[in-house]
Structure 1
Amino acid sequence: MAAPKPISRIISHVILDLDGTLLNTDSIVSQVVKPFLVKNGKNWDSKKAHKLVGKTPYEAAAVVLEDYGLPYSTEEFLSMITPMFSQQWGNIKALPGANRLIKHLKSNRVPTALASNSSRSNIESKISCHKGWKDSFSAIVGGDEVEKGKPSPDIFLEAAKRMNIDPSNCLVIEDSLPGVTAGKAAGMHVIAVPSVPKRTDEFSSADEIINSLLDVKPETWGLPPFNDWVEGTLPIEPWFIGGPVIKGFGRGSKVLGIPTANLPAENFSDILSEHTSGVYFGWAGLSTRGIYKMVMSIGWNPYFDNTEKTIEPWLLHGFDEDFYGEELRLVIVGYIRPEANFPSLESLIERIHEDGRIAEKALDLPAYAKYKESPYLRNPLQQGSSVIGNETGQDSK
């Protein structure tokens, strides 16, 4: 995260990108393109996915054709793939913090526009499944309504024009480098929320870089602040995961002195895609031991520079023995802070303990304490199984 640069003009209007900023479009892209490639004798490479971020549909199609050597023209490829995408638009989930931000801006009468490289018809299809979204925007601009898409400033300038406001009074929130470039070229202030992990250094032109929409602080820009933080925590829509405790990287107890109960990341690819990295907290249920307070990191642990995104819960209780293989269920109910790097191991350890103290105190609040009684924490799992869904061991990492 990068601290915001000084404001040169009064911010009165907000312009939001759609794909990758408000909606988890990346998961749909892989679901559609991956099987198409398999049919053509190719294998989807997730490491190349970042090349598609912020592109117009035509540009993205050209990139896929080039990267995988497919024997089609861009027009042919689009004609085959577009119907497959259209069937999935209604399944795209909102990213964490998206609904909260949209509702906040609307309730505080902050004029807000939606500006995307997607076509206007695709935008309409995507947002129609999200209650209240369409009525929350003063203007909606698609890539097919302007001469050039992002990184050209045309889309943002058109959005400002439709809202009858000077571009310098607009704040753009974008996940892609082309989007950030477009916003700055339009003379607007820009918050970058990079959707591609571990590439924040590429977004230095943005006025502020944040980890996720959960970290937006409107008051920084002279806009009405959120008032939903409680005791240094943000209540979130609960999510539920479970599985067997596995051995981790061997650094929790040995390096940090903080034993964590790791879950197999490969079982939670959908959850890891849906939820942004950061520090969360909630309740943990061990099938044979009981229910405990828990603080949890999700992400790449920048200090250790992980190559994969992980889920690492720390049960706030002293255990006399390891419990590898035991079933662990988690109900995640709140958010504390974004993932961050630290200048030293000591400062990292100090912050982890501070997170634990915050979670310990917050979980006594009624809004969080009630989830300790969740039946999900008590229902036994079959040995070796894993669960991701709605409500119906501490290792030496």
Structure 2
Amino acid sequence: MWCNLKPLPGANRLIKHLKTNGVPTALASNSPRCNIEAKIFFQQGWKESFSAIVGGDEVEKGKPSPNIFLEAAKRMNCAPSNCLVIEDSLPGVTGGKAAEMHVIAVPSIPKKTAEFSSADEVINSLLDVRPEKWGLPPFNDWIEGTLPIEPWFIGGPVIKGFGRGSKVLGIPTANLPAENFSDVVSEHTSGVYFGWAGLSTRGIYKMVMSIGWNPYFDNTEKTVEPWLLHNFGEDFYGEEVRLAIVGYIRPEANFPSLESLIERIHEDGRVAEKALDLPMYAKYKDSPYLRNPSKHGSSTTGGTQSEMDSK
């Protein structure tokens, strides 16, 4: 069972960054120590990256008690006030603050971020950690305002969506059928991404897309929608679109007005347009999946219908 668990987006990147820069790091979980060891056994490089591992069965009280965090600091020979906790649960945030540590919350259910107001910072995902805000070495992998990611691929027929893309935003978007991708969509953190889009009868185009709940429109389900950066002049419902998602731009966000939302969508488009000319991203334009999906499966991850970015 543990071998099938996937790290949260950005987890491997963060752990590797801290280890490379010599930052002492502990893993503190309410799970029994044996379960922690079993889980991380299948994550290459994790066990040796932690200076200390503390299980819930090694302290008198688990989270929300501060005991587990205080024990981790002790094993790292660090003062609690010099420690930064990254937590996805409310008991963990409560325990970290009780230990008088700095706490970043990464809620496992983003729609409930208001419950994590006691944290020093609440972020959308581990992709959005900014170590320099806490006196730690910054990441150096951002390029032209974008973060390279392990590419993922999705595809399906273009369908009619909410009708907001062209009518409200003035930005035509290509909706994909939600039922095809629900499992995979749940694996990817919300935010704005970019990459390449292949249309079965038209060619390959640059694209930027959102994944999330579109807070401005208050969607009730997590959705994905690409905006192809090309003026087609006509609808192409029913055509198959294949996407290669290769980079990340920013987290999901709300906006005070429709005008500010539209302005940011266009800025995301400009960022993607420029970045996709870089060789590290441009090479994926030649992905066989974009050109001949019949030989490479229908889709490997998911997309649904939403507005490009009500974030």
Which TM-score tier does this pair reach, normalised by the shorter chain? over 0.9
What is the distance in 2 between the residues matched to 1:98 and 1:279?
18
Which letter maps to 1:151? P
Pair 1:251 & 2:164 matched: yes
Trace 1:245-394 onto structure 2 (pairs within 5 A).
245-381=158-294, 386-388=298-300
Q: Is the 8 A contact 1:211 1:277 kept in 2?
A: yes
Corresponding residue number in structure 1 for 2:8? 95
Which residue of structure 2 lines up, in the alignment, with residue 123 of structure 1?
36
Amino acid across the alignment from 1:229? W
Identify the match of residue 227 of structure 1 among 127, 136, 140.
140
Q: SS where residue 263 of structure 1 aligns?
A: coil
Corresponding position of 1:137: 50
Q: Partners of 1:380 and 1:336 in 2: how far apart?
A: 26
- What is the CA distance between 1:388 and its match in structure 2? 1.7
Of residues 135, 153, 167 in structure 2, which corresponds to 1:240? 153
Give 3-state SS (helix, strand or coil) of 2:284's partner: helix
Q: CA deviation at 1:395?
A: 10
* Matches of 1:351 and 1:220, distance apart in 2: 24
Matching residue within 105, 120, 127 for 1:207: 120
Q: Secondary structure at the match of 2:231?
A: coil
Whole-Å Cα distance in 2 between the matches of residues 122 and 226 of structure 1? 31
Deviation readout 1:79-110 (Å, 9 max, x if unpaired): xxxxxxxxx11110011100000000000000
Identity fraction in percent: 85
Give the match for residue 29 of structure 1.
none
Scaled by the length of structure 1, the TM-score of the pair is 0.75
Matched, 1:158 2:71: yes
Cα displacement string for residues 183-228 of structure 1 (whole angstroms, at most 9, x for unaligned residues)? 0001100000011121111111000111000000000001000000
| Contact 1:281 1:359 (8 Å CA) reproduced | yes
Shift of 1:272: 1.2
Kept after mapping to 1: 8 A contact 2:225/2:306:
no
- Does structure 2 retain, via aligned residues, the 8 Å contact 1:261–1:314? yes
Cα RMSD (Å) of the superposition?
A: 1.6
Q: Which runs of 5+ in 1 are unaligned?
A: 1-87
Hey, what's the Cα distance between the residues in 2 that align with 1:285 and 1:353? 21
Deviation at 1:266, TM superposition (A): 2.1
Q: Could you state the TM-score of these two structures normalised by the residue count of structure 2?
A: 0.95
SS class of match (2:16): helix
Rounded to whole Å, the distance in 2 between the matches of 1:268 and 1:322 is 23
**Aligned-pair distance for 1:146?**
1.0
What letter corresponds to residue 145 of structure 2 in structure 1? G
Q: What's the CA shift string for 1:14-72, capped at 9, x where partnerless?
A: xxxxxxxxxxxxxxxxxxxxxxxxxxxxxxxxxxxxxxxxxxxxxxxxxxxxxxxxxxx
What residue number does 1:73 align with?
none
User: Cα distance, 1:386 vs. partner?
Assistant: 4.3
Please say if residues 228 and 235 of structure 1, whose CA atoms lie closer than 8 Å, have aligned partners that are also in contact.
yes
Q: Contact between 1:265 and 1:309, CA under 8 Å: does it hold in 2?
A: no
Judge conservation of contact 1:246–1:395 (CA < 8 Å) in 2: no
SS of equivalent residue, structure 1 residue 388: coil
Q: Which has the larger radius of gyration?
A: 1
Q: Which residue of 2 aligns with 1:109?
A: 22
Cα distance in 2, alignment partners of residues 198 and 395 from structure 1: 16
Instruction: Point out where structure 2 has 5 or more consecutive residues left out of the alignment.
Output: none
1:91 maps to amino acid:
N
> What is the count of residue pairs matched by the alignment?
304
Letter in structure 1 aligned against 2:109? V
The whole-number CA distance in structure 2 between the counterparts of 1:221 and 1:380 is: 45
Shift of 1:396: 9.6
User: Does structure 2 conserve the Cα–Cα contact (< 8 Å) formed by 1:295 and 1:356?
Assistant: yes
Q: Residues 395 and 195 (structure 1 numbering): CA distance in 2 closer, same or farther, change over 3 Å?
A: closer
- How far apart in 1 are the matches of 2:32 and 2:113? 27
- The answer as to whether partners of 1:253 and 1:395 remain within 8 angstroms in 2 is no
* Equivalent runs, 1:165-180 vs 2, <5 Å: 165-180=78-93
Correspondent of 2:95 among 172, 179, 182: 182
The list of structure 1 runs, each at least 4 consecutive aligned residues, that deviate by more than 3 angstroms after superposition, is: 394-397
Residues in 2 aligned to 1:144 and 1:325: alpha-carbon distance in whole angstroms = 55
